[in-house]
Amino acid sequence: MRKYKKDEPRVSIRARVCADCLEVAGVDRVVTMDLHSPQIQGFFRKPVDHLYAAGIFCEHITSMGLENYVIASPDEGFAKNARYYSNRLGVPLVIGNKQRPSHDEKAEILGIIGDVCDKTVIIVDDFSISCGTIIEVSNRLKKNGAKDVYAFVSHAVMSKKGVKALENSSICKLFTTDTINNPHISKSEKIEIIPVSNLFAKAIKIIHENDSLSELFQ
């Protein structure tokens, strides 16, 4: 889901290749959740229904009973998505100023835009592999006076190394969905899995009954 554009010479746009392969295999409709880039929907010639974990995450955040907390986007690119959380929950939004100085995918957090002093911070993002970005953001947040840091990530693509890095980090807990069957995360006490099967089941039922999916986005 990350390869939605041509980022190297003489390579294909891999998300488009995956879309073509699915269609050749006989897929006639696609249901997805939290694509890294919405433009991936345009790579399919078949209908695509795009679901969001934000509603389920917001319900869970509310159930935690936190006080004096803010939502944090790890970078400017995810700020629009993070703003949905802050608007729905009625709390401020802070944004990490991130750059990648080289091609090794290692992120450098230059600063935090917004006040986090003595506040609980909830980082929201669409996926994580190495946990590098959210850990760097968490470290910067703690330096800026944040009390506790939690993370909500739609897709837990973490490797064994990423899980270990998370467990040794200042993040109190990471919440994710079960969109990916990842054996590396199941035994970590710092990771809690929130099921989204009910949301997909509702979407499939609505599609088969030829009704509108709009009720899932209210």
Q: Does residue 3 carry a catalytic annotation?
A: no
Rounded to the nearest angstrom, the gap between the alpha carbon of residue 72 and the centroid of all alpha carbons in its chain is 12
Query: CA-CA distances (angstroms) from residue 206 to 151, 166, 179, 199, 210?
Result: 31, 38, 20, 11, 6
Query: CA-CA distances (angstroms) from residue 199 to 25, 105, 193?
Result: 25, 32, 15
List the 108-113 sheet strands across, edge first. Answer: 108-113, 93-99, 69-73, 120-128, 149-156, 173-177, 191-194
Q: Which of 98, 119, 160, 164 is catalytic?
A: 98
- Select from 6, 29, 15, 19 the least CA-distant residue to 207: 29
Cβ within 8 Å of residue 168, ≥6 positions away = none
Active site residues: 98
